[in-house]
DNA sequence: TTAGGTGCAAATTCTTTGCACCCTG
DNA sequence: CAGGGTGCAAAGAATTTGCACCTAA
Protein backbone atom coordinates (compact mmCIF):
# COMPACT_ATOMS: atom_id res chain seq x y z
CA UNK A 1 0.00 0.00 0.00
CA UNK A 2 1.38 3.32 -1.13
CA UNK A 3 1.53 6.37 1.14
CA UNK A 4 -1.32 8.75 0.39
CA UNK A 5 -0.41 12.13 -0.95
CA UNK A 6 -2.01 15.19 0.60
CA UNK A 7 -4.44 15.72 -2.23
CA UNK A 8 -5.64 12.15 -1.98
CA UNK A 9 -6.76 12.63 1.59
CA UNK A 10 -9.32 15.37 1.11
CA UNK A 11 -11.83 14.44 -1.56
CA UNK A 12 -13.74 17.50 -2.74
CA UNK A 13 -16.93 17.22 -4.65
CA UNK A 14 -18.35 18.61 -7.83
CA UNK A 15 -21.87 19.98 -7.43
CA UNK A 16 -24.61 17.47 -7.85
CA UNK A 17 -26.35 18.97 -10.81
CA UNK A 18 -23.15 18.98 -12.82
CA UNK A 19 -22.49 15.35 -11.91
CA UNK A 20 -25.93 14.35 -13.10
CA UNK A 21 -25.36 16.24 -16.33
CA UNK A 22 -22.10 14.39 -16.89
CA UNK A 23 -23.69 11.03 -16.16
CA UNK A 24 -26.42 11.68 -18.69
CA UNK A 25 -23.89 12.59 -21.27
CA UNK A 26 -22.02 9.39 -20.48
CA UNK A 27 -25.11 7.29 -20.98
CA UNK A 28 -25.96 8.82 -24.32
CA UNK A 29 -22.40 8.78 -25.63
CA UNK A 30 -21.92 5.18 -24.53
CA UNK A 31 -25.16 4.06 -26.12
CA UNK A 32 -24.33 5.83 -29.32
CA UNK A 33 -20.89 4.25 -29.40
CA UNK A 34 -22.40 0.81 -28.85
CA UNK A 35 -20.57 0.40 -25.58
CA UNK A 36 -22.19 -1.52 -22.76
CA UNK A 37 -23.40 0.34 -19.71
CA UNK A 38 -22.10 -1.87 -16.96
CA UNK A 39 -22.37 -1.24 -13.28
CA UNK A 40 -18.60 -0.87 -13.04
CA UNK A 41 -18.50 1.79 -15.73
CA UNK A 42 -21.26 3.79 -14.14
CA UNK A 43 -19.65 3.76 -10.73
CA UNK A 44 -16.18 4.50 -12.05
CA UNK A 45 -17.36 7.36 -14.21
CA UNK A 46 -19.36 8.81 -11.36
CA UNK A 47 -16.27 8.73 -9.15
CA UNK A 48 -14.27 10.80 -11.62
CA UNK A 49 -17.16 13.05 -12.57
CA UNK A 50 -17.76 13.85 -8.92
CA UNK A 51 -14.19 14.61 -8.00
CA UNK A 52 -12.34 17.84 -8.37
CA UNK A 53 -9.01 16.21 -7.57
CA UNK A 54 -7.98 14.76 -10.93
CA UNK A 55 -7.64 11.31 -9.45
CA UNK A 56 -5.22 8.62 -10.53
CA UNK A 57 -6.46 5.17 -11.47
CA UNK A 58 -5.55 3.94 -8.04
CA UNK A 59 -7.36 6.81 -6.33
CA UNK A 60 -10.47 5.98 -8.32
CA UNK A 61 -10.02 2.32 -7.42
CA UNK A 62 -9.97 3.16 -3.72
CA UNK A 63 -12.92 5.52 -4.05
CA UNK A 64 -14.97 2.88 -5.72
CA UNK A 65 -14.24 -0.20 -3.66
CA UNK A 66 -16.53 0.52 -0.70
CA UNK A 67 -19.42 0.47 -3.13
CA UNK A 68 -18.12 -2.30 -5.33
CA UNK A 69 -15.60 -4.43 -3.43
CA UNK A 70 -14.93 -6.87 -6.23
CA UNK A 71 -13.73 -4.45 -8.93
CA UNK A 72 -10.22 -4.97 -10.06
CA UNK A 73 -7.68 -2.26 -10.63
CA UNK A 74 -7.29 -3.28 -14.22
CA UNK A 75 -10.97 -2.74 -14.87
CA UNK A 76 -10.55 0.73 -13.48
CA UNK A 77 -7.69 1.34 -15.90
CA UNK A 78 -9.57 -0.09 -18.85
CA UNK A 79 -12.65 1.91 -18.02
CA UNK A 80 -10.79 5.18 -17.55
CA UNK A 81 -9.08 4.80 -20.90
CA UNK A 82 -12.33 3.81 -22.54
CA UNK A 83 -13.99 6.92 -21.16
CA UNK A 84 -11.07 8.96 -22.40
CA UNK A 85 -11.38 7.44 -25.87
CA UNK A 86 -15.08 8.27 -25.83
CA UNK A 87 -14.17 11.88 -25.13
CA UNK A 88 -15.79 11.83 -21.70
CA UNK A 89 -12.59 12.25 -19.77
CA UNK A 90 -9.33 14.01 -20.29
CA UNK A 91 -5.96 12.98 -18.93
CA UNK A 92 -3.32 15.23 -17.50
CA UNK A 93 -0.30 13.14 -18.23
CA UNK A 94 1.41 11.51 -15.32
CA UNK A 95 2.59 13.75 -12.50
CA UNK A 96 4.82 12.04 -10.02
CA UNK A 97 4.24 8.58 -11.35
CA UNK A 98 0.61 8.24 -12.32
CA UNK A 99 -1.69 9.50 -15.03
CA UNK A 100 -4.52 11.64 -13.72
CA UNK A 101 -8.00 11.90 -15.13
CA UNK A 102 -10.57 14.66 -15.18
CA UNK A 103 -14.17 15.02 -16.27
CA UNK A 104 -14.15 18.79 -16.60
CA UNK A 105 -14.23 19.32 -20.35
CA UNK A 106 -14.79 23.06 -20.23
CA UNK A 107 -11.89 25.36 -21.01
CA UNK A 108 -9.97 25.91 -17.80
CA UNK A 109 -6.50 26.18 -16.30
CA UNK A 110 -4.49 24.31 -13.70
CA UNK A 111 -2.79 25.03 -10.43
CA UNK A 112 -0.22 22.37 -9.52
CA UNK A 113 1.37 22.06 -6.09
CA UNK A 114 4.93 20.96 -6.72
CA UNK A 115 5.19 19.64 -3.16
CA UNK A 116 2.27 17.29 -2.82
CA UNK A 117 1.03 17.08 -6.39
CA UNK A 118 -2.38 18.61 -5.71
CA UNK A 119 -3.83 19.73 -9.00
CA UNK A 120 -6.85 22.00 -9.14
CA UNK A 121 -8.82 23.70 -11.86
CA UNK A 122 -9.44 27.39 -12.05
CA UNK A 123 -11.28 29.56 -14.55
CA UNK A 124 -10.16 32.82 -16.05
CA UNK A 125 -11.83 34.55 -18.95
CA UNK A 126 -8.68 36.56 -19.42
CA UNK A 127 -6.46 33.50 -19.74
CA UNK A 128 -9.02 31.73 -21.93
CA UNK A 129 -8.54 34.51 -24.44
CA UNK A 130 -4.77 34.17 -24.69
CA UNK A 131 -3.40 34.63 -28.17
CA UNK A 132 -1.37 31.69 -29.54
CA UNK A 133 1.89 33.20 -30.68
CA UNK A 134 3.13 32.26 -34.12
CA UNK A 135 6.25 30.90 -32.43
CA UNK A 136 3.97 28.10 -31.20
CA UNK A 137 1.75 27.51 -34.20
CA UNK A 138 4.89 27.20 -36.29
CA UNK A 139 5.33 23.67 -34.87
CA UNK A 140 2.06 22.40 -36.30
CA UNK A 141 -1.66 22.48 -35.77
CA UNK A 142 -2.89 23.90 -32.47
CA UNK A 143 -5.72 22.06 -30.75
CA UNK A 144 -5.86 23.62 -27.32
CA UNK A 145 -3.90 25.63 -24.83
CA UNK A 146 -4.02 26.29 -21.15
CA UNK A 147 -1.99 27.88 -18.43
CA UNK A 148 -0.28 25.83 -15.79
CA UNK A 149 0.47 27.70 -12.59
CA UNK A 150 2.88 26.01 -10.19
CA UNK A 151 3.45 26.71 -6.56
CA UNK A 152 3.12 25.42 -3.04
CA UNK A 153 -0.46 24.89 -1.97
CA UNK A 154 -1.86 26.28 1.27
CA UNK A 155 -1.96 22.86 2.93
CA UNK A 156 1.72 22.22 2.20
CA UNK A 157 2.79 25.72 3.27
CA UNK A 158 1.21 25.07 6.59
CA UNK A 159 2.07 21.43 7.06
CA UNK A 160 5.53 21.34 5.61
CA UNK A 161 4.00 18.52 3.56
CA UNK A 162 5.72 15.30 2.63
CA UNK A 163 8.15 16.62 0.07
CA UNK A 164 8.16 14.22 -2.81
CA UNK A 165 10.42 14.83 -5.74
CA UNK A 166 9.05 18.10 -7.11
CA UNK A 167 8.94 18.66 -10.84
CA UNK A 168 10.04 22.28 -10.71
CA UNK B 1 14.10 -2.28 -27.33
CA UNK B 2 11.24 0.21 -27.39
CA UNK B 3 9.96 1.74 -30.62
CA UNK B 4 11.33 5.23 -31.09
CA UNK B 5 8.82 8.05 -31.06
CA UNK B 6 9.01 10.65 -33.80
CA UNK B 7 10.67 13.24 -31.63
CA UNK B 8 13.37 10.82 -30.60
CA UNK B 9 14.49 10.35 -34.19
CA UNK B 10 15.47 13.89 -35.05
CA UNK B 11 17.89 15.27 -32.50
CA UNK B 12 18.08 19.05 -32.78
CA UNK B 13 20.85 21.03 -31.25
CA UNK B 14 21.14 24.00 -28.99
CA UNK B 15 23.67 26.53 -30.23
CA UNK B 16 27.21 25.92 -29.16
CA UNK B 17 27.78 29.07 -27.18
CA UNK B 18 24.74 28.40 -25.03
CA UNK B 19 25.87 24.84 -24.39
CA UNK B 20 29.25 26.08 -23.27
CA UNK B 21 27.58 28.61 -20.98
CA UNK B 22 25.48 25.85 -19.42
CA UNK B 23 28.48 23.59 -18.96
CA UNK B 24 30.37 26.34 -17.16
CA UNK B 25 27.44 26.92 -14.90
CA UNK B 26 27.32 23.20 -14.20
CA UNK B 27 30.97 23.10 -13.23
CA UNK B 28 30.71 26.03 -10.85
CA UNK B 29 27.45 24.90 -9.27
CA UNK B 30 28.76 21.36 -8.84
CA UNK B 31 31.99 22.57 -7.29
CA UNK B 32 30.13 24.87 -4.94
CA UNK B 33 27.81 22.06 -3.89
CA UNK B 34 30.76 19.76 -3.21
CA UNK B 35 29.64 17.34 -5.89
CA UNK B 36 32.22 15.44 -7.89
CA UNK B 37 32.73 16.30 -11.53
CA UNK B 38 32.86 12.87 -13.06
CA UNK B 39 33.17 12.08 -16.71
CA UNK B 40 29.67 10.55 -16.70
CA UNK B 41 28.11 13.67 -15.24
CA UNK B 42 29.80 15.93 -17.74
CA UNK B 43 28.72 13.84 -20.71
CA UNK B 44 25.18 13.36 -19.43
CA UNK B 45 24.71 17.03 -18.67
CA UNK B 46 26.12 17.98 -22.06
CA UNK B 47 23.63 15.67 -23.73
CA UNK B 48 20.68 17.38 -22.07
CA UNK B 49 22.13 20.85 -22.38
CA UNK B 50 22.67 20.35 -26.09
CA UNK B 51 19.24 18.97 -26.88
CA UNK B 52 16.10 20.87 -27.61
CA UNK B 53 13.96 17.72 -27.37
CA UNK B 54 13.38 17.41 -23.63
CA UNK B 55 14.80 13.92 -23.59
CA UNK B 56 13.76 11.10 -21.32
CA UNK B 57 16.32 9.24 -19.23
CA UNK B 58 16.42 6.51 -21.82
CA UNK B 59 16.87 8.97 -24.68
CA UNK B 60 19.81 10.48 -22.84
CA UNK B 61 21.16 7.01 -22.22
CA UNK B 62 21.09 6.21 -25.91
CA UNK B 63 22.60 9.57 -26.83
CA UNK B 64 25.47 9.04 -24.47
CA UNK B 65 26.41 5.44 -25.11
CA UNK B 66 28.40 5.89 -28.32
CA UNK B 67 30.74 8.14 -26.37
CA UNK B 68 30.63 6.18 -23.14
CA UNK B 69 29.55 2.59 -23.80
CA UNK B 70 29.79 1.41 -20.22
CA UNK B 71 27.39 3.86 -18.56
CA UNK B 72 24.40 2.29 -16.97
CA UNK B 73 20.87 3.52 -17.26
CA UNK B 74 20.62 3.93 -13.51
CA UNK B 75 23.60 6.28 -13.49
CA UNK B 76 21.77 8.34 -16.07
CA UNK B 77 18.73 8.47 -13.82
CA UNK B 78 20.75 9.33 -10.73
CA UNK B 79 22.67 12.00 -12.58
CA UNK B 80 19.57 13.60 -14.09
CA UNK B 81 17.89 13.82 -10.70
CA UNK B 82 21.08 15.13 -9.14
CA UNK B 83 21.28 17.84 -11.78
CA UNK B 84 17.65 18.65 -11.15
CA UNK B 85 18.28 18.91 -7.42
CA UNK B 86 21.18 21.24 -8.15
CA UNK B 87 18.79 23.45 -10.11
CA UNK B 88 20.58 22.81 -13.38
CA UNK B 89 17.75 20.95 -15.00
CA UNK B 90 14.02 21.08 -14.88
CA UNK B 91 11.63 18.21 -15.40
CA UNK B 92 8.43 18.27 -17.33
CA UNK B 93 6.62 15.51 -15.54
CA UNK B 94 6.13 12.28 -17.40
CA UNK B 95 4.32 12.42 -20.74
CA UNK B 96 3.36 9.07 -22.14
CA UNK B 97 5.31 7.09 -19.63
CA UNK B 98 8.61 8.83 -18.95
CA UNK B 99 9.80 11.93 -17.18
CA UNK B 100 11.48 14.42 -19.51
CA UNK B 101 14.30 16.79 -18.65
CA UNK B 102 15.34 20.17 -19.92
CA UNK B 103 18.24 22.52 -19.43
CA UNK B 104 16.50 25.67 -20.59
CA UNK B 105 15.96 27.59 -17.37
CA UNK B 106 14.76 30.79 -19.00
CA UNK B 107 11.09 31.62 -18.88
CA UNK B 108 9.44 29.95 -21.85
CA UNK B 109 6.39 27.99 -22.97
CA UNK B 110 5.71 24.58 -24.43
CA UNK B 111 4.20 23.11 -27.54
CA UNK B 112 3.21 19.45 -27.09
CA UNK B 113 2.29 17.14 -29.95
CA UNK B 114 -0.44 14.87 -28.61
CA UNK B 115 0.29 12.32 -31.31
CA UNK B 116 3.97 11.65 -31.00
CA UNK B 117 4.80 13.44 -27.78
CA UNK B 118 7.20 15.95 -29.33
CA UNK B 119 7.66 18.79 -26.89
CA UNK B 120 9.29 22.04 -27.94
CA UNK B 121 10.00 25.35 -26.31
CA UNK B 122 8.84 28.66 -27.63
CA UNK B 123 9.25 32.21 -26.37
CA UNK B 124 6.63 34.89 -26.13
CA UNK B 125 7.06 38.16 -24.32
CA UNK B 126 3.32 38.53 -24.32
CA UNK B 127 2.71 35.20 -22.64
CA UNK B 128 5.59 35.77 -20.22
CA UNK B 129 3.65 38.72 -18.91
CA UNK B 130 0.38 36.92 -18.32
CA UNK B 131 -1.38 37.87 -15.12
CA UNK B 132 -1.97 35.20 -12.47
CA UNK B 133 -5.66 35.38 -11.67
CA UNK B 134 -6.65 35.40 -8.05
CA UNK B 135 -8.63 32.22 -8.75
CA UNK B 136 -5.22 30.55 -9.03
CA UNK B 137 -3.29 32.26 -6.27
CA UNK B 138 -6.13 31.40 -3.92
CA UNK B 139 -4.77 27.82 -3.82
CA UNK B 140 -1.43 28.84 -2.33
CA UNK B 141 1.87 30.41 -3.21
CA UNK B 142 2.64 30.81 -6.90
CA UNK B 143 6.14 29.95 -8.06
CA UNK B 144 5.90 29.92 -11.81
CA UNK B 145 3.50 29.67 -14.68
CA UNK B 146 3.65 28.85 -18.32
CA UNK B 147 1.39 28.14 -21.24
CA UNK B 148 1.07 24.69 -22.71
CA UNK B 149 -0.13 24.60 -26.28
CA UNK B 150 -1.25 21.23 -27.58
CA UNK B 151 -1.71 20.11 -31.13
CA UNK B 152 -0.47 17.84 -33.87
CA UNK B 153 3.04 18.66 -35.00
CA UNK B 154 3.97 19.15 -38.63
CA UNK B 155 5.76 15.81 -38.85
CA UNK B 156 2.73 13.91 -37.56
CA UNK B 157 0.29 15.80 -39.79
CA UNK B 158 2.32 14.70 -42.74
CA UNK B 159 3.29 11.23 -41.65
CA UNK B 160 0.15 10.14 -39.92
CA UNK B 161 2.58 9.38 -37.08
CA UNK B 162 2.42 6.37 -34.83
CA UNK B 163 -0.56 7.34 -32.75
CA UNK B 164 0.23 6.52 -29.17
CA UNK B 165 -2.35 7.12 -26.48
CA UNK B 166 -2.70 10.90 -26.64
CA UNK B 167 -3.25 12.88 -23.48
CA UNK B 168 -5.87 15.18 -24.92
C1' DT C 1 -27.76 -15.99 -27.23
C1' DT C 2 -23.46 -13.78 -27.79
C1' DA C 3 -20.12 -10.33 -28.19
C1' DG C 4 -18.27 -7.50 -25.34
C1' DG C 5 -16.82 -6.88 -20.38
C1' DT C 6 -14.71 -8.44 -16.12
C1' DG C 7 -11.47 -10.50 -12.67
C1' DC C 8 -7.38 -12.73 -11.89
C1' DA C 9 -2.66 -13.34 -12.45
C1' DA C 10 1.23 -12.74 -14.97
C1' DA C 11 3.90 -9.68 -18.04
C1' DT C 12 5.86 -5.08 -19.30
C1' DT C 13 7.74 -0.72 -18.73
C1' DC C 14 9.85 2.80 -16.18
C1' DT C 15 12.42 3.87 -12.22
C1' DT C 16 14.81 3.10 -7.81
C1' DT C 17 17.86 0.60 -4.57
C1' DG C 18 21.58 -2.47 -2.30
C1' DC C 19 26.08 -3.59 -2.64
C1' DA C 20 30.92 -4.06 -3.87
C1' DC C 21 34.39 -1.86 -6.56
C1' DC C 22 36.33 2.52 -8.51
C1' DC C 23 38.03 7.28 -9.01
C1' DT C 24 37.84 12.33 -8.00
C1' DG C 25 39.38 15.70 -4.89
C1' DC D 1 43.47 7.72 0.71
C1' DA D 2 38.53 8.46 1.82
C1' DG D 3 34.08 9.15 0.66
C1' DG D 4 31.30 9.92 -2.90
C1' DG D 5 30.14 7.78 -7.47
C1' DT D 6 29.36 3.92 -10.57
C1' DG D 7 27.78 -0.54 -12.60
C1' DC D 8 25.27 -4.50 -11.96
C1' DA D 9 21.44 -6.95 -10.72
C1' DA D 10 17.43 -7.19 -8.36
C1' DA D 11 13.40 -4.78 -6.34
C1' DG D 12 9.36 -1.68 -6.86
C1' DA D 13 5.61 0.97 -8.76
C1' DA D 14 2.45 1.82 -12.45
C1' DT D 15 0.14 -0.05 -16.17
C1' DT D 16 -1.10 -3.57 -19.64
C1' DT D 17 -2.37 -8.13 -21.36
C1' DG D 18 -4.02 -13.19 -21.92
C1' DC D 19 -7.49 -15.98 -20.75
C1' DA D 20 -11.72 -18.12 -19.02
C1' DC D 21 -15.98 -16.89 -17.04
C1' DC D 22 -19.93 -13.63 -16.86
C1' DT D 23 -23.69 -10.41 -18.26
C1' DA D 24 -26.00 -6.48 -20.78
C1' DA D 25 -28.38 -6.00 -24.91
- Residues forming a β-bridge with A142: B151
The region of weakest confidence among A18-32, B108-122, B130-144 is B108-122
Residues B92 and B113 in one domain: no
Are the Cβ atoms of A140 and B81 closer than 8 angstroms? no
Residue A42 belongs to a domain: yes
Q: What is the CATH number of the domain that holds A29?
A: 1.10.10.10
- A95-105: average pLDDT: 76
Residues B124 and B147 in one domain: yes
pLDDT of A88 > 80? The answer is yes
Chain B contact present for A48, CB below 8 A: no
- Please give the interface size between A and B, counted as residue pairs whose CB atoms are below 8 Å apart: 147
Whether the CB-CB separation of A118 and B105 falls below 8 Å is answered with no
Residues B29 and B65 in one domain: yes
The C-alpha of B159 sits at a distance from chain A's nearest C-alpha, in angstroms, of: 12
Chain B contact present for A140, CB below 8 A: yes
Q: Angle at the Cα of A41 (from A36 to A44), degrees rounded to 5?
A: 170
Spacing of A56 CA from D22 C1' in Å:
27
CB-count burial class (<10 Å; 0-12, 13-18, 19+) for A52: middle
The C-alpha of B165 sits at a distance from chain A's nearest C-alpha, in angstroms, of: 9
Residue B132 belongs to a domain: yes
Residues A121 and A94 in one domain: no
pLDDT band at A69 (very low <50, low <70, confident <90, very high): very high
Residues B66 and B136 in one domain: no
Residues 56-95 of B with CB under 8 A from A: 81, 84, 90-95
Strand order in the sheet with B140-153: A119-122, A109-113, A140-153, B140-153, B109-113, B119-122
Residues A37 and A89 in one domain: yes
The overall average pLDDT reported for chain A is 84
Residues B83 and B125 in one domain: no
Tell me the torsion sign for CA atoms A90, A93, A96, A97. Answer: positive
Question: Which of A102, A119, A140 is the C-terminal boundary of a domain?
Answer: A102
List protein-proximal bases of chain C (any atom < 7 A from a CB). 4-10, 13-18, 23-25
Predicted confidence (pLDDT) per residue in B86-131, tens digit? 989 988 765 556 678 888 888 999 998 877 778 888 999 999 988 8
Question: Given this model, what pLDDT does residue A62 score?
Answer: 94
pLDDT of A40 > 90? The answer is yes
CB-count burial class (<10 Å; 0-12, 13-18, 19+) for B133: middle
Residue B54 belongs to a domain: yes
Question: Which of B102, B131, B146 is the C-terminal boundary of a domain?
Answer: B102
The region of weakest confidence among A64-68, B7-11, B14-18, B106-110 is B7-11
- A29-57: average pLDDT: 92
Closest CB from A120, A132, A146 relative to B139: A120
- Percent of chain A having pLDDT more than 90? 52
Predicted confidence (pLDDT) per residue in A5-20, tens digit? 666 665 567 888 889 9
Question: Given this model, what pLDDT does residue A164 score?
Answer: 39
How many structural domains is chain B composed of? 2
Residues B31 and B82 in one domain: yes
| Cβ-Cβ contacts under 8 Å, B90 against chain A | 167-168
Question: Which of B81, B102, B123 is the C-terminal boundary of a domain?
Answer: B102
Residues B36 and B79 in one domain: yes
In terms of residue numbers, what domain contains B153? 109-160
Residues B148 and B93 in one domain: no
Residues A88 and A131 in one domain: no
Question: Given this model, what pLDDT does residue A115 score?
Answer: 75
Residue B113 belongs to a domain: yes
How many other CB atoms are found less than 10 A from the CB of residue B8? 19
Predicted confidence (pLDDT) per residue in A153-162, tens digit? 888 887 654 4
| Cβ-Cβ contacts under 8 Å, B137 against chain A | 149, 151
Closest CB from A122, A139, A167 relative to B93: A167
pLDDT of B164 > 50? The answer is no
The C-alpha of A122 sits at a distance from chain B's nearest C-alpha, in angstroms, of: 6
Report the chain B residue with the minimal C-alpha distance to residue A152.
B141
| Cβ-Cβ contacts under 8 Å, B102 against chain A | none
CB under 8 Å to A35, separation ≥6 — which residues?
A41, A82, A86
Whether the CB-CB separation of B156 and B113 falls below 8 Å is answered with yes
Residue A72 belongs to a domain: yes
Residues B95 and B113 in one domain: no
Could you tell me the maximum CA-CA distance found in chain A, to the nearest angstrom? Answer: 51
Q: How far is CA A147 from CA A56, A72, B43, B93, B128, in A?
A: 21, 35, 34, 15, 11
Amino acid sequence: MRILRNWEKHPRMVDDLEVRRRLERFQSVAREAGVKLTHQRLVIFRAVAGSVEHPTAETVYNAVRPEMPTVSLDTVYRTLWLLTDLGLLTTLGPRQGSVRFEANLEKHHHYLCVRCGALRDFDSAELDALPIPSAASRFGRVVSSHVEVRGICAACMQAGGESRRPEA
